[in-house]
Chain A
């Protein structure tokens, strides 16, 4: 009787996958989503409270229910802007904080070592951010419809701009998260770039009320087009050109996607 088993177990094989590593992509996406669902108080409830506060402040301070922008009552004008602002801030926060924390704690290697291509990394992180943005948007929309008239004028515009804006800010968040070396850097990007762009892009007012120079500047701001198109989807009122908005958002998203892809491919600030 042989002392050792003669049957040698088969050598473990290299796992094969096709052009896309679906299991890996799904795992990365799943991780990104579970990250924010686990702290839903901070990621869904807190933005809701903040948005309702802004709503209360603006409705009380601007008062006057008769105040209209074009032929849209101020409250109906405000609601889509508030929803969009919460969506973009959360989409940005999701990807930027995920990468930043992973870099600081050193567990970014667990994302870089698996067989994920730059395209799959980009896709996984970005879709996680988009999911957070859309989830926040849905919560806001649910809460605001209870308080405000929020009939939907054109659902396709609502959906396109919600997805395009969340994607754009998720990609920006990846860029910010990879670039930043300390939390201070990330806070600076949020405080000095994202928030001003979001606040000054017609969230709270019609850019028609701006002086001529700033009116021109507002048209160069991609944030303006996403709020404007999103608002058109709800109210049927647009401050700028909708076609220009569709083109600007598509082009900006493509450029950011290419930038993020390149950052992952080169390992910028990720690999030695």
Chain B
């Protein structure tokens, strides 16, 4: 007589479930590769071309030309924007199609859900960033001043926006909400925090506002790790980014735990 089926056992962490959750969104990004990866590549190359023609190649800040200043900003912002879209679109799509139940029914703790969504969106963001960076580096060669810092700030920006995407994805009820958060929050925060210009060129008040914005530290830290030109102390940037990621992670975990807009 066959032994009755036993419930599957796992230790403190359901590694297999976590891995499956991560793979789900990576597969989704891979399936819409042309749209989700090539789209940012083309639009960022367009920005580069426009600024190359409109701004010319004179010196900008320190010993950097404008294009050398611009490329790290474009790359890190592509990482952030893609990470945000990946988790936010995934959750909202699953909610609207009713498939979110498949994720909620699986034996995954709120922590595992948070980490799973954050990791897959961060990974998609970093891969897109690499795809955006490669053709640009052929035109504008850039050094890497510090590889560990480069990876830290790239991952920090990716996780920050991946977690933000979870919050928006849980809160949003329609596609309008998702694109409103993108148009009115994510893009302005990124664009106005030094993606395209040195915040030192801003009027004093606007500069201090920009310096309160955590996205500024992501962009500045990433640029400093590549070019060596920093507008804020790297240590401050690291602490701010780490704290914001942690804070967003705690919020996301709490929303999954109480089932905010997920469970009745």
Contacts and interface: CB of A to CB of B under 8 A. Distances in A.
Interface of A: 39, 41-42, 46, 49-50, 53, 56-58, 60-63, 184, 187-188, 191-192, 195-196, 199-200, 203-205, 209-210
Interface in B157-195: 176, 179-180, 183-184, 187-188, 191-192, 195
B201 A60 contact: yes
Contacts of B32: 184
B54 A58 contact: yes
Given A49-B183, A184-B35, A191-B42, A57 B49 contact: no
A191 B191 contact: no
B151 interface: no
A204 B176 contact: no
Given A42-B179, A62-B54, A196 B42 contact: yes
A196 B187 CA distance: 19
Given A53-B187, A58-B54, A46 B35 contact: no
Given A39-B176, A199-B46, 10 more contacts: A41-B176, A53-B188, A53-B191, A53-B192, A57-B196, A60-B202, A61-B70, A187-B35, A187-B39, A209-B53
Interface string B61-90: 000001000100000000000000000000
A270 B66 CA distance: 49
Interface in B200-235: 201-202
Contacts of B51: 61
17 contacts: A39-B176, A42-B180, A46-B179, A46-B180, A46-B183, A49-B183, A53-B187, A57-B196, A60-B201, A61-B55, A61-B70, A187-B35, A191-B39, A192-B38, A195-B42, A195-B46, A209-B56
A42 B183 CA distance: 9
Most buried by B among A63, A191, A203, A209: A191
A204 B54 contact: yes
A60 B46 contact: no
Contacts, number: 76
Given A60-B197, A60-B202, A195-B46, A49 B184 contact: yes
Most buried by A among B43, B70, B196: B196
Given A39-B176, A61-B51, A200 B35 contact: no
A62 B34 contact: no
Contacts of A62: 54-55
B262 interface: no
B94 to A, nearest CB: 17
A205 B39 CA distance: 23
Nearest to B202: A60
B20 interface: no
A191 B38 CA distance: 9
B50 interface: yes
B46 A200 contact: yes
A270 to B, nearest CB: 24
A205 B49 CA distance: 11
A210 B176 contact: no
Contacts of A195: 42-43, 46
Nearest to A187: B35
Contacts of A203: 50
Nearest to B40: A191
A209 B51 CA distance: 12
Contacts of A209: 53-54, 56
